[in-house]
Structure 1
Amino acid sequence: MSSSDHVGAVFFDVDGTLVPRTSSAVFLADFLGHRDELAKAEDGYAAGALDNRQVSELDAAGWAGVRQELVADWLGGLPLVSGITEAVDWCRQNGLVPVLATLAWETVGSCLSNRFGFHAFSGPRLETADGRFTGRVARHFDEYDKRDFALAQVRDLGLAPHACAAVGDSRSDLPLFASVGLSVAFNASAGARAAATVTVDGDDLRSVLPVLSRLVTASR
């Protein structure tokens, strides 16, 4: 895609945004037997008591010995908001590049990008060896890495941050919210709502499109 094909980019969060009321990690932890422990740790992250490195290491330990090919099957049942396909299509039709900017495991971002057609994705990486997860984190990734990933995408696309938007719901979105021209708190925490340009609530991602249309209008 050349710079002449687009007028901006939209960075979508996954956990709590595309995955409603929970996270992809907690969903997957149910298969692994540590759902309650991880959910408590994620609550600690949301409250600022834990950092994402601590949460990732706790979660990764539960993956030890699991075969990589199982994940795609499990993710087939991941709960998602309605309207993702239509929202991604709308972005592309209106010159906005749809990107996943998330702290979800890289394997989750890859699956969702392949399924819905996102341009790129971010996230921490689980270590693997001989087709199985080792129980360790190969690459850590926090909310500031998420912001930096998004800004690197902006540069690579030949765009300016003010021509881009972020759609998210929580603490992990705040640095990115502060770095783009338009931020949308979607079914969000109080902190994200306070930091965002606009707040939207609903069970369909298409409800953010009237807000994102501001980027299209501003480019004309």
Structure 2
Amino acid sequence: MTSYTSPVGLTLSTPPGLIVTDVDSTLIAEEVIEELADYAGTRDEVAAITSRAMNGELDFAQSLHHRVATLAGVPNSVFAQVLESIHPTPGADALIEAVHRSGGYFGVVSGGFEEVVAPLCARLNIDHYVANRLEVVDGVLTGRVLGQIVTSEVKVTKLREWALAHDVPIEQTVAIGDGANDVPMLQTAGIGIAFCAKPAVKEQIPYQLDTRRLDVLIEPLGLS
């Protein structure tokens, strides 16, 4: 019999009660702000800033304000178009279903935008989400963010909040993400997994998955 080798270097005997993931480049293949920037003609500029922010070279909140400012003047009909163009990471739906079958819960924390994240979560049967919101006036994006920005600290807060809501000890949670702003959440969860992550993230997180599929985590996390 061939022995099983976990793709992340761990095999849990008890499944987690809560899994929380980042959205852009983790739950989905795309970076939503770059998809939005396509319609503003600023994709290259935004992509360059996103890459630096996710590698920890720029302050996330400041970089978000800079990127969102380039979206000013884009009609809000863009949200529906972007929602149709994004692709869940292969195996995302299978992982979510496996979590629910085991009696657990699934949440997402996003530095992206509620206008896309909310319907995506409804489509994928995700239990909890938090994301930023874009200001729209007269059907047009103003280039400003509304309310509190979803920073690394907010991601940690939501992980703890949702675990508490479901009586899940923090030791029985799993967090998955790819960017520098995910690191505190990955370090707070019982298990943190760096998913196809930036170099600065890999240096800090011992469990890593470099295969761009989420269903390969089902067996290692005791969900099969």
TM-score interval for Structure 1 and Structure 2 normalised by the shorter chain? 0.7 to 0.9
TM value normalised by structure 2 = 0.84
Distance 1:8 1:141 in 2: 23
Q: Paired residue for 2:213? A: 204
Larger relative contact order (Cα-Cα within 8 Å, sequence gap ≥ 6): 2
Give the number of equivalent residue pairs. 209
> C-alpha offsets along residues 158-199 of structure 1, whole Å, 9 cap, x if unaligned?
222111000111212100011110111221223323333422
Alignment partner of 2:73 out of 48, 60, 65 = 65
Given candidates 171, 192, 199, the residue that maps to 1:162 is 171
Aligned to 1:171: 180
Within 1, Cα distance between the matches of 2:114 and 2:129? 8
Is the CA contact (8 Å cut-off) linking 1:66 and 1:132 kept in structure 2? yes
What TM-score results when the alignment is normalised by the length of structure 1?
0.85
Equivalent of residue 120 in structure 2, options 112, 115, 119: 112
State the match for 1:89 in structure 2: 97
State yes or no: 1:141 paired with 2:150: yes
State the partner residue of 1:44.
52
The one-letter code matched in structure 2 to 1:87 is L
Residue 204 of structure 1, CA deviation: 2.0
Corresponding residue for residue 132 of structure 2? 124
Runs of 4+ in 1 over 6 A off after TM superposition: none
Unpaired segments ≥5 residues, structure 2: 1-14
Letter in 2 for 1:132: V
Hey, what's the Cα distance between the residues in 2 that align with 1:148 and 1:51? 19
The answer for unaligned runs of 5 or more in structure 1 is 1-5
**What RMSD in Å do the two structures reach over aligned CA positions?**
2.1
Among residues 26, 30, 44, which one is paired with 2:38 in the alignment? 30
> Match of 2:6?
none
Residues 54 and 7 of structure 1: is their aligned pair in 2 closer, same or farther, counting only changes over 3 Å? Answer: closer
Structure whose residues are more often helix by fraction: 1
Look up the SS of the partner of 1:136 in the other structure.
strand
What amino acid is aligned across from residue 22 of structure 2 in structure 1? D
C-alpha distance in structure 2 between counterparts of 1:119 and 1:50, whole Å? 31
Q: Which residue of 1 aligns with 2:23?
A: 14
Note if contact 1:123-1:146 (Cα within 8 Å) is conserved in structure 2.
Answer: no
